Amino acid sequence: MTPELVVAIIVTVVGASTPILIAALGELVVEKSGVLNLGVEGMMLVGAITAFVVAFTTGNHYLAILLAAAAGVATSLIFGFLTLSLSANQTATGLALTIFGTGFSALAGQGYSARPVTLLGPLFPAELAAHPVWRVLFGYSALVYFSLVLVVAVWWFLKKTRAGLILRAVGENDLSAHSIGYSVVGVRYAAVAFGGAMAGIAGACFPLLLTPQWAERMTAGRGWIAVALVVFASWRPFRLLAGAYLFGLVMTMELYAKAGGGPLSAIPAELWAAMPYIATIVVLVLISIRRDASTNAPACLGKPFLPSS
Amino acid sequence: MMQFRLEKRPEPSRTVLYAAPLVAVILTMIFGAIIFSVIGYDGVGAVREIFLTPLTNSFKWQDLAIKAAPLIIIGVGLSIAYRANVWNIGAEGQYIMGGLAATWVALATHGMGGAWILPAMMAAGILGGAAYAAIPAFFKTRLNVNEILTSLMLTYASVQLIYYLVRAPWKDPMGMGFPQTRRFAAEALLPNIVPGTIVHAGVPIAIVVALIAWFVMSRSVFGYQMKVVGAAPHAARYGGFSENRTIWLALLVSGALAGFAGALEVSGPFQRMVPGFPTNYGFTAIIVAFLGRLNPLGVIFAGFIMAITFVGGDLAQTTIGLPSAASGIFQSMMLFFLLAGDILVRYRLKRVAPQEARA
């Protein structure tokens, strides 16, 4: 393998990993507050179509990302209202949110398929970004650098700030947090909205970073993989980074296999396409064999907060 | 100003429990009309086409019946699993594996003839669905791996398996290059039961499945075990019900029924395996199970309501140009309203005087 090929592979892996990483970091914060939102896939699709339409009509990529985040927040607030204000079942509501997001994005995307947008360009000047070797560090768009900063920011927020401590307290013991005067529902609303914003941006990665077009269900289960990665990473941001890049590698192998690249194409293309999902099961199983994965789960995860009962 | 406060009911309200699905459907129609008008469609027309025309147009009744059948069969299985708090959301994958297993029997017996072929296909479908659901059951009971994620990931993988099988080993050599299997022989096709229509034997089977499940859930130890483990796991442990066995049963039963539905679909409406075989019945059945209040009898009604939105969605597409994705929005709205209304099962609204509310 030439250095150029290695660089090309790394660049592809980073791109494929970025949406999963952003969505998973959002879901990690949501789950740390004690809420399980299974609607990530739906919120990502709403973000993807929003980003596509804005980029298509205005040509402004950063506005597209911003509005995709806003659309993700709006979608997440449906979930927040049902589960936090009305204490509806979180599993069922999350599933309903994914069905809603799939339907909404397909409806809003009518007539936009097969229309092109341009991908978001690299952040750094062309001398660095297009350099055959140095593009491994400088050849990415702002979304990629954002995802890396986000890893550190989420870690720092949860570990080092007072607000992060309160959020974790709400997720570990909601009744105690309530009795010392913190607004459990308020904190969880904020976390759910943050998760929605990140899912929206993760969705925006699909038309702006990966394939410059809109296609129904274009997130193809990546939102669910993000949910699985949070378990895989035992709710730790840096482990999430490693997990997301591992998945990016699997997806990149699929791309190379489809392009007819040597030994990889000996395996049927369909098996390569199924690989990320099989890999998800395998890593979930491996992490559970190694130790009880649920020990690090927030104690109140998925349980409604009912102070009066 | 009048103000309201939520007050916990001493007992969950059965009236609200059973009225909530109806209210959810009515609210969906009202809000659906408003939302689709706002985004520039004929909102009232959309609601009329989606919810009423399939009922008033007698030519559409046969479509309703054959769409409702798989939804009811899968929904019954899911309602049993969800009762036990086992979240099998991979019914679509188990449906696919059931369809593939039945296809395998149909292709292997092609040209043999005999009345045993169709029952063998059904048995293969049931086994295929149950075997696929056994994977999340195994990992859940042995290693406590979340069944939501494993069952869903297996669904994505099973779709790729269809693509592979119809593209290569099972491809019809006379199919002019289309990725699909050959049409099944007459012995492998589900008989029509109403002459001159498309209503096949799967329709009465679905009703019978729901009735049996209702009887089992309300009268047998199995049903009691499912409900107790779901509602009160600690009490169930004292009562000697094994949680692991409940997880196994819940997944095997829901997987078997989803696989059965897959076998019925491939031998009935499809008559061959095609890449378009996954039609989201497994996902829609999740809504059916909830709308039916996780009660097999309720699932029959919910299955028909959901079938109405499917058939109506197709109608609205041709008559008023409503995109096919619209029925997904109506379906999820129904579930949102239902879940929102559930709070009134456990709580009631109480009017309070303004000064009391402020205190």
Q: Do A110 and B8 touch (CB under 8 A)?
A: no
A294 touches chain B (CB under 8 A): yes
Q: Do A107 and B340 touch (CB under 8 A)?
A: no
Residue B88 lies in a domain: yes
Distance (Å, whole) CA A52 – CA A64: 7
Q: Do B167 and A270 touch (CB under 8 A)?
A: yes
Chain A residues within 8 A of B87 when measuring between CB atoms = 91
Q: What is the pLDDT of residues B164-197, one digit of tens each?
A: 999 988 998 888 888 999 999 888 999 988 888 8
Structural domains of chain B, count = 1
Phi/psi zone of residue A111: left (φ > 0), alpha (ψ -120 to 50 degrees), beta?
left
Tokens (6 digits) for B223: 């049903």
Q: Do A221 and B152 touch (CB under 8 A)?
A: yes
A4 touches chain B (CB under 8 A): no
pLDDT of residue A292: 56
Chain B residues within 8 A of A104 when measuring between CB atoms = 325, 329
Residue B72 lies in a domain: yes
Tokens (6 digits) for B159: 């779709």
Best of B140, B156, B294, B350 to disrupt the A interface by mutation (most A CBs within 10 Å)? B156
Residue B40 lies in a domain: no
Q: Do B154 and A281 touch (CB under 8 A)?
A: yes
B4 touches chain A (CB under 8 A): no
Residue B54 lies in a domain: no
Of A225, A274, A294, the CB nearest to B144: A294
Q: What is the mean pLDDT of each run of 10 residues along chain B (359 residues)?
A: 69 82 91 86 87 88 94 97 92 97 94 89 97 96 90 94 92 86 90 87 94 91 83 78 89 98 96 92 92 93 93 86 80 90 79 57
A205 touches chain B (CB under 8 A): no
Residue B94 lies in a domain: yes
Query: What is the signed CA dihedral for B136, B142, B143, B149, rounded to 10 degrees?
Result: 10
pLDDT of residue B359: 41
State the ipTM, two decimals. 0.86
Chain B residues within 8 A of A228 when measuring between CB atoms = 146, 149, 153
Q: What is the mean pLDDT of each run of 10 residues along chain A (309 residues)?
A: 82 93 97 95 96 94 96 97 91 90 89 84 81 80 94 96 94 90 94 98 94 89 91 90 91 78 75 89 85 70 74
The residues, ordered by sequence, that sit 6+ positions from B78 with a Cβ below 8 Å of its Cβ are B88, B91, B254, B285, B286, B288, B289
Chain B residues within 8 A of A247 when measuring between CB atoms = none
Task: Tell me the shortest Cα–Cα distance from B235 to chain A, in angstroms.
Answer: 19
pTM comes to 0.89
Phi, psi of B98 (to 5 degrees): -60, -45
Phi/psi zone of residue B114: left (φ > 0), alpha (ψ -120 to 50 degrees), beta?
left
pLDDT of residue A129: 79
Distance (Å, whole) CA B216 – CA B221: 8
pLDDT of residue B357: 47
pLDDT of residue A50: 96
Domain span at B96: 63-276
The secondary element (H helix, E strand) that includes residue B338 is helix B326-341
pLDDT of residue B156: 92
Domains of chain A: 3-296 (1.10.3470)
Looking up tokens 């579930």, which residue turns up? B335
Phi/psi zone of residue A302: left (φ > 0), alpha (ψ -120 to 50 degrees), beta?
left
Radius of gyration over every alpha carbon of chain B, rounded to an integer in angstroms:
22
